[in-house]
Each structure stands twice: as structure tokens, then as C-alpha cells.
Amino acid sequence: MKSALRSFPAFRACTGGVVTLEFAMVMMILAPLLVCTLELSRWSTARQHMEDYAVTVAYDVASAPSTIPGATLQELMERIGLLAPELVDTTRTAWSATSADYLAVTISMFLMTPTVATCQYNCTYVANLAWTFGNNKRSCTLKPSIPGAPQAGPVVVVDVVSKYKFVFGVGDRIGPEPTFSVTQWQPVRNWRSATSAYPQLGGSNGDSYGGWTGTKCPGYS
């Protein structure tokens, strides 16, 4: 007992390993913060890349010639692997026409008709679907509201829906994979009030290519 008491002051005066203990205690707080910061950064980047992709595809289709084949649409849809690689996860269902379980891309052509024919500004429009292409096609019968449409005439609408997959091993702790969705539109540039002056979907009833299929709505074949 006396030897133990005599060694206590020496033990208390020993400072070896204090820095290691302090570092371990601080890292217990900093490590989760660092992981969360990286995850939030990746989350924000993926969302921005999705929007950039949708804008790019809408612009390209709006500038297309009179007929756009399915092969061209397939190339535009697969471009997401370059512009938004965070959304194309090779560990899940392969990126293909049937992979709408976590990634769906749809390209549609709408004809915007003002509800009041003489309207000049701040107008409301009826959106008539001419054709739709992708693995989550829009309905020909539904007439959605497309906010901010600047003019009457044909408008390209690109819809992208994706489930975001967490990395860094935090997914199980945060919760289920959230779903991102974005819709971007672009007016067709060569429209001059002619009904047929918009890019038509190739094929008899919508060209198909690479597994993707298109649908031409009645009255716009």
C-alpha cells in the first residue's frame, strides 16, 4: 500500500500521452462533422448537376432540326453520366431504359396555347402534349401547368427524377434515400407560329432506341 501511495505523485506528474487523449476526444466530434460536411457538399453538387443536365438537354432539343430520331434522344439521355455522374450509381440497377427505380429521364414537347387568344402579357396557357420520350413518359391527356412560360408555341420540357445515394457510410444513420426531381423547359427557337414548326419525334408512333420508347399524342402525329 505504501509503495502504491509513494508512486501516485509520480503518476500524477506524468504527462505522456495527454496530447493523444485530447486528440482522440476532439476527433470524436470533428470526424462526424467532417463526414456530414462532405455529404452535404456532394448532395448540393449532385442537385446542381441535375439541373445543369436538364437545361442542357432542353436547349439541345429546342435547337434540333424538324425531326429528331430516337438515337439522338438516347445520346442526350445517356449524357447524364457525364454531366451528373453522382446520379448514375453502378452499384444499383444499371442505367438503362428500365432503371426508373432510381433514375428516370423524360423529354417531352408541349404546345402552349394561351387561354385568351388576344392575351399579350402575363398570360396563362393550356399545355398540349405533342410527344414524350423516356422511361417515365408524361400522359397525353393531362394538361399540366408549366409556370413561367414566356410565349405561346412549342416548349421542350425535360423531367429528371433520381434517388440520391448517401456515401461515407452515413446512409443507414440519416434515413432512406431522398428523391431529387427537377423540371426544366426551353422554347423551341425556330417556331414562327406554324403548327408543325417544332422538332417531330421520329418513327411511325415514336421512335425507340436503346430500350427507350416514345409516344406521339393523338392529333400531333
CA distance 134 to 104: 8
What pTM value is reported for the model?
0.76
Q: What is the pLDDT of residues 147-193, one digit of tens each?
A: 555 677 889 999 988 877 777 655 555 667 778 888 888 888 766 54
- Residues 22-51 have pLDDT tens digits of 667 777 777 777 777 887 888 888 888 889
